[in-house]
Structure formats: structure tokens, C-alpha cells
Amino acid sequence: MAEEAKAKGNAAFSSGDYAAAITHFTEAIDLAPTNHVLYSNRSAAYASLHRYTEALSDAKKTVELKPDWSKGYSRLGAAYLGLSQFKEATDAYKRGLEIDPSNETLKSGLADASRPRESASNPFVDAFQGPEMWAKLTADPGTRVYLQQPDFVKTMQEIQKNPNNLNLYMKDKRVMQALGVLLNVKLGGSKGEEDTEMREADSSSPERKGPEVVKKREREPEPEPEPMEMTEEDREKKERKEKAQKEKEQGNAAYKKKDFEKAIQHYTKAMELDDEDISYITNRAAVYLEMGKYVECIEDCDKAVERGRELRSDFKMIARALTRKGSALAKMAKCSKDFEPAIETFQKALTEYRNPDTLKKLNDAEKARKELEQQEYFDPKIAEEEREKGNEFFKEQKYPEAVKHYSEAIKRNPSDVKAYSNRAACYTKLGALPEGLKDAEKCIELDSSFTKGYSRKGAIQFFMKEYDKAMETYQEGLKHDAKNQELLDGVRRCVEQINKMNRGDLTPEELKERQAKAMQDPEVQNILSDPVMRQVLVDLQENPKAAQEHMKNPMVMNKIQKLVSSGIVQVR
């Protein structure tokens, strides 16, 4: 996904769409944050938009990630150069040349950074900078026509990439007109015409050569240049777009009223009037989705994506079309495999634009696929057969093989408490106590009256030397079967161990192990971090009278009992 986003960024950069390139490179960086090439590419895109501060930040990150890569220093030097920090730029280029002495880009950059510079910027050069250049040329009726001419567009792109070459194109009247639009001034040949008139007046009336004639000429207003009229084709195109927009608004109103047929008619009419706006197609797709016409929705979404790529539409619009297609595919899914194309489509949408709604739809689709997979795999008969195979391996003390069959039984029947119970016994034999405890708790979750689950859980807690917890588990099981001998034996063993600890009969090694384990218990940690309890513990040692008063508080007494049973506090 990172490579795909990078490729989109490179394509956008090559076409001069630097803002889109930054978006794609940022998405790629989110997916692969240690890829130095991505930071280098985004630095170049920022520099192309004269956002040199951001370009510098990315260039520094590039060098940090790959200090032996000469291009990183080229990016660093370019960013410093854009910020007019010529000394730093020179140093960056020199460091790059130490790595790659024959690099022409670094040599050229060093020469540029080292040459004397003028203090003022060139307004003619500045006019061609930034993405607003194209917006101004499109807004002006005169230059808008030129944007349909490939050679003019290429010329403007060349000037934008290297504004210092502007003088090479000054003979092109279209470039001069574009410069006038960008500078918000009127450029033309009116001066030459005025000179000609003056010469004719002088030659035909020599007696009127004096200041009076000149003064009269000065008072005459200069003729205003005729505004460029919109061509018939442009006028018709504008009218069609306006009509299409009205049709879209009417379609939106009909959609809100649940008048889907009418909404489709308006969106279709808008599509016929203007084929350069894919929102009409995606809106119609949304209507088809609401109507349950999923095939038609998918067809419209595919059409919107294809046309959007031709028009180089906003990536959010492409993502919207893909998301709606994914929704239609998910609605059509009847089995787990049917969700795969929907999931793939949602993932493609997220590569275009990471929308939270699309991400939620992806998660829902993956969850639905998993649930269907479980339903399709569900077979109680096979589950019982697998459990019996596991029992045979358990008797032979082949516990890993037994776990394998019990796991298959659980997949075939996730509600089989016996399979969980037997696998918990296997895990206990293998010493995998946390896994066994999890299975024992699952038994109780599935069937709270299943006493074997309590005996499994209690036994594991006992092996983990959590005698208090084991005691609670056994007692909970006895509520369901008060005469269960296995549970009664478990209670007896726990009482023996707790009494042994209370008497201080543990060996130093056992006591140390018990205390270390207790210190990992969050409840014990909270008790020991409580200022009140810390004072109680001090009073137990130094002020017995005050300690007796503390013991009258049931909460304090329970906490002391917890510390005693965990081995933290010893009673002598």
C-alpha cells in the first residue's frame, strides 16, 4: 500500500500537481515511516510549492534516516536555498559531495548557493509560483482558451518549474497575456499605436508642433483594450454546467424525500449535461444502493472511478465511489468468500483517502466474513469426533497432539464447553498455565453451572500459587454442586497452604517467591501505594494501640488480610 501511494505521489509530482503529490507521499509515510525516499520526495514537492520550512523538515528527516545518501543533502541544500540560508545550503551541498563527488546536481546546487544574490525578488518570476497560477488562468476568459492548447500548458509548466527561464518565452503573446493576468495588469501594444499617431500629427501640421498639441494629446484618454469575449463553445459549456448543477440540486432534494426514481432522473440528466463532474455518477450510485439495485450501483461506481482517473478528479471523490461499490458488494454477499471483493474494494478506497466511515465499513465487512466462516465451519458431529481424538492422545500423554484436536473441535463447535475444559487440562500438563486459565474461564462463561470449569480454573490458580483466588473459585463452584468432591478437595488444599503461610512455615525461598508474585498483583500494589495503609502498617510495628483502632475498620481489616495471605505481611 505504501508503494502504491508512493507511485501516485510520483505521478502527481511529474504532472505538476504538487499538492496531490504531498497528500500521497504523506499517506505512504504513515504506512512506512522509516522509508527515507518518501521524505525526500515529499521535501521536493514542498519545495516546488515554495513551502521551504516543511521541505527543510523532511530533508532533515531524510538525512537522519539515511546519512550516507547523497540525494538527502541535495534536498537539504535546496530547502536552505529556498529559505535564503545560503551558508547552510553551501554546507549541505558540500557534505553531499563528500559522499558522491561526481554528483552534478550537488555541484550545480553548490554553485548556486555560493553566487552573490540580489536582495529583491523578481515579481515577474514570482507570478508563476504556487498552485493559484492555474486557478487565475482558468478564471480569466482570455487565458482559459489557451489552457486547451497542449503546447501552451507545457510552456507554462516549464516556466513554473524553472521561472528563471521566463525570458525565453517572452515573444509568445499568450505568455505575455498570461503574465498580465497573473500580475493583474493590462499588457498590450497600445504604446506603439500612440507613438504612430503622434508622428502623423506632427508631419501633417508642422505649425502645431508646440506644447499645445502635446498637452491636447495628454488630455485625451487612452483607449481601453477590448475585453476578451467568451467563445460560443465556452458559453455553451458554462450554461450546461449550470444546468447540470441545478439538476443535481433537484436530485438531492428528491433523494432526501425518498423519491428515488425522480432523483435518478435528475442525476442522469446532470450526467448528460456535464461529463466532467463525477459527483453526479456517485450520487446516482448512492440512490441505487438505497433501492437495493446493487449491480447498477457497482456499474456507476466503476464508471465514476474510470472517469475520475481520466479527469484527475479529487482523490476523495474516487474514494467515495470505491466505498459505495464496497457497500454494494457487501450487501450482495451470501457467504464468507463473497466478502473478499468488498473488503478489497474498501482497502483500495482507503489508499485513496483514509476516511473513518470507510474504515468502519471495512472492519464490519471483515467481522461479518469471520462470523460467516465460523457458521460455515460449524459441525457438532465433526467437533465431537475431534474431541474424542484429543482424548485418545491425552491418555497417551501426547499433549501437543491432543491440543491440536481439541482446537479443531472448538473451531467446529465454539460452544462446546468440554473441548475447552479438556484443552485447559492439556495446557496445564504442558505448563502453559495462562492459556489453560483462559480456557477454564471460557468454560464458565459458556456454562456457569459446569463445575468442571471451576475445578480446572481453581487447579491452575493453585499451581500459580494464587491460593486466595483458587479458594474463591472452588467456593463459587460449590454453589452449583455443594457435594462435588473435587471442589471440596481443592478448598482443603487452599486452606492448608493459606494456614501454612499465616504460621510462617514457608521456607525463605518459598516466601521470597510468594512475595515477588504478590507484588505483581494490582490489588496489592494499590494497597501498598495508599498513604493511609502505609501508616497502618507502620502502626502495626510501632504503635499497637493505634493499630487496634485501625483494625475496627472492616475495609482496613480486609486489606491487611490480603497482605497477610499474599505473604507481604507476616503474623507472629
What sign results for the dihedral spanned by CA atoms 459, 460, 463, 465?
negative
pLDDT for the residue 547: 74
Report the candidate in 37, 47, 36 with the shortest Cα–Cα distance to residue 7: 37
Whole-angstrom distance, CA of residue 492 vs CA of residue 474? 10
Residue 236 inside a domain? The answer is no
Per-residue model confidence as pLDDT tens digits over 482-504: 999 999 999 999 988 878 776 66
Q: Are residues 401 and 332 located together in one domain of the fold?
A: no
Residue 556 inside a domain? The answer is yes
> Where does a domain end: 354, 376, 398?
376
Higher pLDDT: 166 or 542? It is 542
- The amino acid at residue 346 is F
pLDDT for the residue 123: 59
Q: Are residues 487 and 531 located together in one domain of the fold?
A: no
Residue 488, burial from CB neighbour count under 10 angstroms (0-12, 13-18, 19+)? middle
How many domains, the chain?
5
CATH of the domain at 528: 1.10.260.100
In this prediction, residues 208-221 reach a mean pLDDT of: 42
Would you place residue 205 in the very low, low, confident or very high pLDDT band (cuts 50, 70, 90)? very low
pLDDT at 361 over 60: yes
What percentage of the chain has pLDDT greater than the value 70? 85
Residue burial 249-270, b: 16+ Cβ < 10 Å; e: rest = ebbeebbeeeebebbbbbbebb
pLDDT at 209 over 50: no
Q: Could you tell me if 352 and 315 are in contact, meaning their C-beta atoms sit under 8 angstroms apart?
A: yes
Whole-angstrom distance, CA of residue 318 vs CA of residue 352? 7
pLDDT for the residue 571: 60
Mean pLDDT of the chain: 83
Residue 202 inside a domain? The answer is no
Whole-angstrom distance, CA of residue 292 vs CA of residue 370? 24
Q: Could you write out the three-class secondary structure of 390-450? A: HHHHHHCCCHHHHHHHHHHHHHHCCCCHHHHHHHHHHHHHHCCHHHHHHHHHHHHHHCCCC
Higher pLDDT: 503 or 261? It is 261
pLDDT for the residue 459: 94
- The amino acid at residue 516 is A
Whole-angstrom distance, CA of residue 86 vs CA of residue 78? 10
pLDDT for the residue 103: 84
Residue 246 inside a domain? The answer is no
* Alpha-carbon distance values, 389 to 252, 405, 408, 415, 446 (Å): 62, 6, 10, 18, 23
Whole-angstrom distance, CA of residue 238 vs CA of residue 229? 14
* Alpha-carbon distance values, 506 to 491, 492, 503, 568, 571 (Å): 19, 18, 8, 13, 13
Whole-angstrom distance, CA of residue 203 vs CA of residue 183? 38
pLDDT for the residue 366: 92
Q: Are residues 344 and 434 located together in one domain of the fold?
A: no
Domain that holds residue 39: 1-114
Among 30-39, 72-81, 190-199, 335-344, the least confident range: 190-199
Higher pLDDT: 232 or 97? It is 97
Would you place residue 176 in the very low, low, confident or very high pLDDT band (cuts 50, 70, 90)? confident
Q: Are residues 398 and 437 located together in one domain of the fold?
A: yes
- DSSP string spanning 138-169? HHSHHHHHHTT-HHHHHHHHHHHH-GGGGGGG
Residue 72, burial from CB neighbour count under 10 angstroms (0-12, 13-18, 19+)? buried
Residue 441 inside a domain? The answer is yes
Residue 169, burial from CB neighbour count under 10 angstroms (0-12, 13-18, 19+)? middle
Higher pLDDT: 104 or 307? It is 307
Q: Are residues 260 and 349 located together in one domain of the fold?
A: yes
- The amino acid at residue 423 is R
Per-residue model confidence as pLDDT tens digits over 276-302: 899 999 999 999 999 999 999 999 999
Q: Are residues 355 and 448 located together in one domain of the fold?
A: no
Would you place residue 82 in the very low, low, confident or very high pLDDT band (cuts 50, 70, 90)? confident
> Where does a domain end: 64, 83, 114?
114
Measured between its terminal Cα atoms, the distance across the chain in Å is 66
Residue 511 inside a domain? The answer is no
pLDDT for the residue 164: 61
pLDDT at 195 over 60: no
Q: Could you tell me if 406 and 440 are in contact, meaning their C-beta atoms sit under 8 angstroms apart?
A: no
Would you place residue 217 in the very low, low, confident or very high pLDDT band (cuts 50, 70, 90)? very low
Residue 234 inside a domain? The answer is no
Would you place residue 117 in the very low, low, confident or very high pLDDT band (cuts 50, 70, 90)? low
Residue 389, burial from CB neighbour count under 10 angstroms (0-12, 13-18, 19+)? middle
Q: Are residues 273 and 360 located together in one domain of the fold?
A: yes
Among 136-140, 307-311, 380-384, the least confident range: 136-140
Per-residue model confidence as pLDDT tens digits over 304-354: 999 999 888 888 999 999 999 999 999 999 888 899 999 999 999 999 888
In this prediction, residues 452-481 reach a mean pLDDT of: 92
> Which residues, including other chains, have CB under 8 Å from residue 546's CB and lie 6 or more apart?
539
Q: How far is CA 305 from the centre of its chain?
A: 21
* Structure-block grid coordinates of residue 456: 480446572
CATH of the domain at 352: 1.25.40.10
Would you place residue 572 in the very low, low, confident or very high pLDDT band (cuts 50, 70, 90)? low
pLDDT at 264 over 80: yes
pLDDT for the residue 137: 80
Q: Are residues 274 and 369 located together in one domain of the fold?
A: yes
Q: Are residues 365 and 382 located together in one domain of the fold?
A: no
In this prediction, residues 535-553 reach a mean pLDDT of: 80
Q: Are residues 391 and 493 located together in one domain of the fold?
A: yes
Left (φ > 0), alpha (ψ -120 to 50) or beta: where does 225 sit? beta
> Where does a domain end: 88, 114, 140?
114
pLDDT for the residue 560: 80
Q: Are residues 440 and 389 located together in one domain of the fold?
A: yes
Q: Could you tell me if 257 and 266 are in contact, meaning their C-beta atoms sit under 8 angstroms apart?
A: no
pLDDT for the residue 218: 44
Q: Are residues 90 and 148 located together in one domain of the fold?
A: no
pLDDT for the residue 215: 41
Residue 177 inside a domain? The answer is yes
pLDDT for the residue 124: 59
Report the candidate in 152, 202, 199 with the shortest Cα–Cα distance to residue 177: 152
